[in-house]
Structure 1
Amino acid sequence: MTPDALVALLDYHYWARDRLLDAVERITPEQFREDLANSFPSIRDTLIHLVSAEWAWYSRWNGESPGQPLPLAGLETVEDIRTRWMQEEGRVRRFVGGLGPDGIKRTFRYTLLDGSPGSSVYGQSVQHVVNHASYHRGQVVTMLRQLGAQPPESQDLAAFYRR
């Protein structure tokens, strides 16, 4: 993996995020919070999990190990989540942009939310952030379909490359 390849992966990640959030903005607040019995009960909860995970990884990259997920306060609407996620995007992009070819291969240590120790390679953890989000974006697409809502435009990596 090269720094340019990681940046391209982040470009894809945030492009797909925006397509998903555009679709979610079209549902009602009640649908946004409806318990659909998924990994996380609602679309809102799933999106908050994604922002929280990105925030936790960024914190770990900077030597901090959060002991709990991102607080939910202020994340009531799709726009609240979009705004917070865009803040995380700026931080993530600046961090990854500063790693360089040697930095993406370095290992860092941290503590997981459950208190157990962890270690990862910077570049691999960035890949994980993108892969993790892809998994949960797919769940949100399924939840939108369960609600009878229009799913987002394709979020496939191939669609991103073809654009």
Structure 2
Amino acid sequence: MNGVAYFKRMAGYNRWANGHVYNACAALPEDALYAPRTAFFPSIMRTLNHLLVADRLWLSRLLGAPEVMPLDTVLFDAFDDLRAARTAQDQAIIDFATKLTEELLSSDLSYQSVSGGANVMPRDVVLGHMFNHQTHHRGQLSSMVLEAGGKPLEIDFIYYLRETAL
């Protein structure tokens, strides 16, 4: 599988896994979403917001129209609004992935970090980081959902592949 096909698959997996996470969160009592938790972003809602912020930052850089905001920005206080924005962001990532070419993937991306530092990274590395970052925080969310009394999340990549018969 080439890089383009891989990242298209990862975009689909990202949407699928986020859907499972949001379904699990929707089944929790509302106060459980805001309750303090042990994680980088200390609640389910804060972690969900962080994932959306990070994806918006990375995708905006990849599209050449960089947004700037702190990583702990709370974009949405209401779960349903956040979920709708997540769904739209996942579609934007899929739309971006469908337009990828090997030439684009092999090019460098110059961008400013949220702390203001200038960086240059290969686009395939940036995309790999974007999807890995999602997985990292979804693991934290999985733990927080269990702590809140929710069901275990089976969101490993292999489950996506089995379910979608890819």
Regarding TM over 0.5, the answer is yes
**Cα deviation, residue 13, structure 1:** 1.2
Task: Kindly indicate whether the alpha-carbon contact (under 8 Å) linking 1:32 and 1:42 is maintained by their aligned counterparts in 2.
Answer: yes
**Cα deviation, residue 147, structure 1:** 1.8
**Cα deviation, residue 121, structure 1:** 1.7
Task: Kindly indicate whether the alpha-carbon contact (under 8 Å) linking 1:67 and 1:114 is maintained by their aligned counterparts in 2.
Answer: no
CA deviation string 1:122-156 (max 9, x = no partner): 2221221111111101101111122222233x101
With structure 1 as the length reference, what TM-score do the two structures score? 0.90
Match of 1:113 in 2: 114
Match of 1:155 in 2: 155
Task: Kindly indicate whether the alpha-carbon contact (under 8 Å) linking 2:57 and 2:68 is maintained by their aligned counterparts in 1.
Answer: no
Q: Give secondary structure in 2 for the equivalent of 1:37.
A: coil
Match of 1:64 in 2: 65
Which range moves more in the overlay, 141-150 or 10-19?
Answer: 141-150
Within 5 A, what are the aligned runs for 1:15-94?
A: 15-69=16-70, 72-73=74-75, 75-94=76-95
List gaps (5 residues or longer) in structure 1.
Answer: none
CA deviation string 1:40-77 (max 9, x = no partner): 1100000000010000001111223433237535x123
CA deviation string 1:13-51 (max 9, x = no partner): 111111111000011121100011311110000000001
Distance 1:129 1:109 in 2: 15
Distance 2:4 2:124 in 1: 8
Residue identity opposite 1:46 in structure 2:
T
Runs of at least 4 residues off by over 6 Å: none
Distance 1:113 1:69 in 2: 6
Task: Kindly indicate whether the alpha-carbon contact (under 8 Å) linking 1:67 and 1:115 is maintained by their aligned counterparts in 2.
Answer: no
Identity %: 23
- Tell me how large the CA RMSD over aligned residues is: 1.6
Match of 1:133 in 2: 134
Match of 2:11 in 1: 10
Distance 2:99 2:91 in 1: 12
Distance 1:40 1:106 in 2: 32
Task: Kindly indicate whether the alpha-carbon contact (under 8 Å) linking 1:21 and 1:82 is maintained by their aligned counterparts in 2.
Answer: yes
With structure 2 as the length reference, what TM-score do the two structures score? 0.89
Distance 1:102 1:9 in 2: 18
Q: How many pairs align?
A: 161
